[in-house]
Amino acid sequence: MAIKEFKTESKRLLDMMANSIYTNTDIFLRELISNASDALDKRHILSLTDPEISFDEPKIRIDIDKKERLITISDNGIGMDRKELEDNLGTIARSGSFEFKQELDEKSEADIIGQFGVGFYSAFMVADRVEVISRKIKEEKASKWTSDMNGYEISSAAKDDYGTTITLHIKKNTKEKKYDKYLENNEIQSLVKKYSDFIRYPIEMLVESYDYKEDGKSEKVIKPQVVNSMQPIWKKNKKEISAEDYDNYYMQEYYDFVKPLKTIHYKVEGNTSYTALLYIPGQRPFNYYTNDYKLGLKLYSRGVFIKDEAKEIVSDYFRFIRGVVDSDDLSLNISREILQQDHQMNVLKKSVDKKIKSTLQNMLEKQREDYEKFFDNFGSQLKYGCYDGFGANKDVLIDLLMFKSSKEDKYVTLKEYVANMKEDQNEIYYAAGESVEKIRQLPQMEKVLDKGYEVLYFTDTVDEFLTSIIMEYDGKAFKSILKGDLDLDSKEEKEELEKKNEESKDLISKIKDVLKDKVSDVRLSSRLKTYPVCLVSSNELSIEMEKILKQMNQEGVKADKIMEINPDHELFTALKKMADEGKDISEYASLLYDQAALMAGLELEDPSAYALKVSELMLKALNNK
Ligand code: ADP
């Protein structure tokens, strides 16, 4: 029989397992029991639609052979055929979390093993040899997978029932680690209690007890006994559950080493009845905004598992939510496909959505700090939710949105913004940019802030696109301070500007001529204070949107750019003088544009030419001194 090699990633993980002397090795049992429980779930689901598959006495059994140093975990679940043994146990299944581990492993490899579910391979934390005998449901033959970690072998085997039996050859004690304890009945029992109590299937062990006879004498007997309470945590009374229990359940279930930010355990009775235990994660899953992310919401019906990733019962914009919804009403006899269209599912979804929304709203009002943490992690999700479907859900979500603002560089909601608007202010001002820092440095910011207006910082890709969908809030339109005409001036100021524009007609048209390929217009404006120029766009597409679209490979889409000049800046006065004297200003016009483009975060077409021109000017200035 040939010994096969593990795949490279599996080898690495196995190495980590074998050397995990500082880690909590106890968790191997939880992992194997959890696999057994999953296998029973799968058998159950199949039995619903296939009359040939029975599901009579589901159970998990643990046996200890102290003398031979063996511990055996058996289940009568779905089982695995030869190919599945090879595929499932020859490679590491949970590649997502493994990548994550790779990123982190220099920091605290040992910790991570303990906190992530590492699945089947965790057996090698306590065993130097593992045998798996499995017979897949409806199959005649069984197969055996054996490994001492250096490689594995697969052969035929005999097994009476469907299911899987895993035998661990427990390691000998070392100086650092005592493995003998895993051969103690009491120890294993308490580990089951600690980590797997809520498993819904009976976990049986042989336990010593006393039989009392009629004559009053007792006799020591060894009998199989169920050692877990089988009650899932969400079915327990809230009073019986500590904050730690809630956190532990979450962390084990989702392989998260950060505690949940919020736990929502509730019961609904009436039209549709269900119990839910929902969590808002304390950190954003590393793959959250990718296609690899899977919704962590499970659907149960009266304590019986129905499905993972239950998209049917929560809106996509709340897909960060994790946990369990256990319905009292769903009928289990219908296949899962039919279930999806079920009216009851919609009712459930509405109710779950509503609960999440009210929880978030409540956090926003009463636990602002937590809400901001939540928003840092998942705020973009809510914005996308607002944007999707042309704003179909904006009414649900709009009041949950927050933006950083110029007022205190803190988050504000739109409601707060509007309440804080100046009397003469009719629009909601915003500026879009890559970061708060960059926006703060924009030349256009000064004047608006001087006038005492608050500006929302739009730093998320979706932010400005969102305004094209939601348009306004509380009757106030969104207005970019980097677009079109800001209309901040009084009548007199406007007339004054008009006059200046008129007086500088020639100069402006010369500049326009030089820049005709780059901007659609050049004008004097009152938007600026310290800086001589800036770029703005017309009211359609903004420069920031152009950049984002470019990143999305939509190069063709361009903002309509306008260069605005500060008529009160000395540079303008000097330039005007030059032009009036009939001198050529074209070089300076280009330099002005380059400055404006740089400040707008655009790339220069010819940065070297720009540098050369600046050097020339520096030389002139230095030599004139
Ligand atoms: P995970 O459980 O996260 O998928 P594991 O490494 O624990 O990762 O297990 C890999 C796969 O092996 C499982 O997905 C499952 O298909 C299969 N498996 C493990 N244990 C059992 C079992 N007791 N019965 C049936 N299949 C099992």
Structural domains in the chain, sorted by start: 11-226 (3.30.565.10), 233-373 (3.30.230.80), 490-625 (1.20.120.790)
State the pLDDT at residue 69.
Answer: 97
Cα distance between residue 331 and residue 301, in whole Å: 8
Q: Is residue 78 in contact with ligand 1, taking CB distance under 6 Å?
A: yes
Q: What pLDDT is stored for residue 333 in this prediction?
A: 46
Provide CB contacts within 8 A for 174, sequence distance 6+: 21
* Cβ contact 290:273 at 8 Å: no
- pLDDT, mean of each 10-residue run, the chain (625 residues): 76 72 77 92 89 94 97 97 89 45 45 54 91 97 93 94 98 92 95 85 91 83 90 91 92 89 95 93 94 92 79 96 90 50 83 97 98 97 93 94 93 97 93 94 91 95 92 94 85 91 92 94 92 90 89 85 95 93 92 94 92 92 83
Q: Is the CB of 287 under 6 A from ligand 1?
A: no
Q: Is 42 in the pocket of ligand 1 (CB under 6 A)?
A: no
**With a 6 A CB cut-off, is 323 part of the ligand 1 pocket?**
no
Residue 567 pLDDT: 94
The answer to whether the CB of 98 is under 6 A from ligand 1 is: no
Three-class SS string for 227-249?
Answer: CCCCCCHHHCCHHHCCHHHHHHH
Give φ, ψ of 313 to 5 degrees. -115, 10
Beta strands across the sheet bearing 304-307: 262-268, 274-280, 322-327, 296-301, 304-307
- Give every CB contact of residue 107 below 8 A, 6+ residues apart in sequence: none
Mapping DSSP to helix (H, G, I), strand (E, B) and coil, where does residue 535 land?
strand
Task: Please tell me the distance from the alpha carbon of residue 25 to that of residue 22, in angstroms, as a whole number.
Answer: 8
The pLDDT score that the predictor gives to residue 88 is 86
Distance CA 328, CA 330 (A): 6
The answer to whether residues 401 and 424 touch, using CB atoms and an 8 Å cutoff, is no
Say yes or no: CB of residue 77 within 6 Å of ligand 1. yes
Expressed in angstroms and rounded, the spacing between residue 42 Cα and the centre of ligand 1 is 11
Which pLDDT score, from 0 to 100, does residue 334 have?
A: 43
> Does the predicted model carry a pTM greater than 0.85?
no
pLDDT tens readout for residues 9-29: 777 777 777 776 556 788 899
Q: Is 447 helix (H, G, I), strand (E, B) or coil?
A: helix
Mutate to test the pocket of ligand 1, among 7, 16, 33, 35 (most ligand atoms within 8 A of CB): 35
Interatomic CA distance for residues 610 and 614, integer angstroms = 6
Interatomic CA distance for residues 77 and 161, integer angstroms: 10
With tokens 């659907």, the residue in question is 299
DSSP tag of 404: E
Q: Are 430 and 421 in contact (CB under 8 A)?
A: no
Instruction: State which ligand 1 atom lies nearest to the alpha carbon of 121.
Output: 6
Site to substitute for ligand 1 among 88, 95, 137, 196, most atoms within 8 A of C-beta: 88
- Find, among 252, 249, 207, 253, the residue nearest to 227 by Cα: 207
Q: How far are the Cα atoms of 55, 208, 272, 333 from residue 346, in angstroms, in the given order?
A: 30, 50, 10, 18
Q: DSSP secondary structure string, 144-182?
A: EEEE-SS-EEEEEE--SSSEEEEEEEEPPP-SS---GGG
Residue with tokens 């968790």: 27
Tell me what pLDDT residue 104 has: 43
